[in-house]
Amino acid sequence: MAERGRQIAKVRGELMSAGMKKSPVAIPSEIYGDDDLAKLRALSMKERGDLLSLACKAAARILESRRRMGIPDPEPEPWHPSTYEWLKNWTRGDGTR
């Protein structure tokens, strides 16, 4: 648990150094326990939106910083072929969800 706390502090420090002066939502370290998903689901929609917004802003600042330093944009891993098949079936609505 102490290691997880150090990881969270490191990420917060990186976000702050990327220009995020103050997090739009307090991120309690209790969220990052044994049952992460259940605790994240317990957040309100506003809190979830705030976390998503923070993550997007941090990603945009990291990308901006990479570009300023002349580092090329990251190339995402391609999706597994089964993902495309699942999405195709899901959007058709044939019940294979």
pLDDT in tens, 8-66: 666 666 656 655 555 444 455 545 555 777 777 888 999 989 989 999 999 999 999 99
- Taking a C-beta distance cutoff of 8 angstroms, is the pair 97, 91 a contact? no
Domain-wise residue ranges, the chain: 2-92
Instruction: Give the torsion sign (CA, 9, 10, 13, 18).
Output: negative
Q: Is the pLDDT of residue 83 over 80?
A: yes
Question: What pLDDT, on a 0 to 100 scale, did the predictor assign at position 41?
Answer: 80
Number of neighbours of residue 48 by Cβ within 10 angstroms: 13
Question: What pLDDT, on a 0 to 100 scale, did the predictor assign at position 8?
Answer: 62
Question: What pLDDT, on a 0 to 100 scale, did the predictor assign at position 71?
Answer: 93
pTM for the full predicted model: 0.44
- Taking a C-beta distance cutoff of 8 angstroms, is the pair 73, 79 a contact? no
Euclidean distance between CA atoms 15 and 55, whole angstroms: 9
